[in-house]
Amino acid sequence: MDFTNLGRTGLSVSRLVLGTMNFGSHTGEDDSHAIMDRAHEHGINFFDTANRYGGGPGHWGDTEAIIGRWFAQGGERRERTVLATKLYGVMDEWPNYGKLSAVNIRRACDESLRRLQTDHIDLYQMHHIDRDTPWDEIWQAMEVLTTQGKILYVGSSNFAGWNIAQANEIASSRHYLGLVSEQSIYNLLTREIELEVLPACMEFGLGLIAWSPLHGGLLGGVLAKERTDGARRREGRAKETLRKNRKRIAAYEGLAESLGEAPAAVGLAWLLARPGVTGPIIGPRTAEQLEDSVRAVELTLDDETLDALDEIFPGYQPAPEHYAW
């Protein structure tokens, strides 16, 4: 496994991030524990979760609890893991059980620590921008958690570029480290963050963590799977996205085949080659899917292949060059 520093910090994290969103909702606890053990065997030390993961109302927090019971087994499982979780989503119908008020930041952190059976969170991420809470309140609450030793670093998720700039300028005025990472959707089909979010991350020293790196499986060999029995049926937005992009996805799968590689490995390797990217989040439902993803770290795409991918899935220049000149 390859490792890199998370943004401008000295924290060393694996280039692949184990996403746990399926744990509890699509993957049972025993299988989830086996996947986490196997991830450590591969050298993956960076695990991502959220307080809302687990399967909907009545099951929010189940994923954190599954991870907590895995940590409780010992064997340095917690010590060898860089643990990232998130807060923002409503956890209860009663007021102040969601978003980023100081009250909810304190409550959500304590509840995550209890479920995770740990005394600290390495990376505490805001799952969404809170337009109703001032940054001074948010940073004061995060500073208290840092002083208490309950969190070490703060990250964002789904922020705009100007949100990142505003957050870190205010943090700097408070002599606080501020955001060290941003978690955004980023893949060959969805490249809008190249306009402003990715440049903001690079300017302010945030590591970019890419979620949905295969666009819900559409970049994982979907057309080849269609030709086999048991292919997953797609509905709604996924079905429409596939319809609109079928020719491009066919060209992409053909390119992967010419390289002798699985499409998923090519899509992940492309992200690993992008400037500013710490790593993609892989969210395996099975141990087999984890094994398939690890190949990406061993795969280096040459310039000709990278150019061919840009021709199939054109990206963006940073703003304002993309639309101004």
- 246, part of any domain: no
Q: pLDDT grade, residue 229 (50/70/90)?
A: low
Tens digit of each residue's pLDDT (9 = 90 or more) over 68-87:
999 999 999 999 999 999 99
- 223, part of any domain: no
Q: The domain spanning residue 275 has which CATH number?
A: 3.20.20.100
- 104, part of any domain: yes
Tens digit of each residue's pLDDT (9 = 90 or more) over 273-298:
999 999 999 999 999 889 989 999 99
How confident is the model over 122-132, as a mean pLDDT? 97
| pLDDT at residue 64 greater than cutoff 70 | yes
Tens digit of each residue's pLDDT (9 = 90 or more) over 37-54:
999 999 999 999 999 999
Structural domain for 91, as ranges: 3-216+262-303
- pLDDT value of residue 231: 53
Of the residues 53, 88, 186, 252, which is catalytic? 53
| Residue 271 contacts residue 297 (beta carbons within 8 Å) | no
- pLDDT value of residue 58: 86
Tens digit of each residue's pLDDT (9 = 90 or more) over 99-110:
999 999 999 999
**Gap between the Cα atoms of 10 and 200, Å rounded:** 20
What's the number of domains the chain is made of?
A: 1
- Annotation marks residue 53 as catalytic: yes
- pLDDT value of residue 235: 66
- 87, part of any domain: yes
- 139, part of any domain: yes
| pLDDT at residue 61 greater than cutoff 80 | yes
- pLDDT value of residue 184: 98
- pLDDT value of residue 233: 62
Q: pLDDT grade, residue 225 (50/70/90)?
A: confident
Mean of all residue pLDDT scores within the chain: 95
The answer to which of 25-29, 222-226, 277-281, 304-308 has the lowest mean pLDDT is 222-226
Tens digit of each residue's pLDDT (9 = 90 or more) over 184-205:
999 999 999 999 999 999 999 9
Q: Would the pTM of this model clear 0.85, i.e. be above it?
A: yes
Q: pLDDT grade, residue 228 (50/70/90)?
A: confident
- pLDDT value of residue 224: 87
- pLDDT value of residue 292: 87
Q: pLDDT grade, residue 244 (50/70/90)?
A: very high
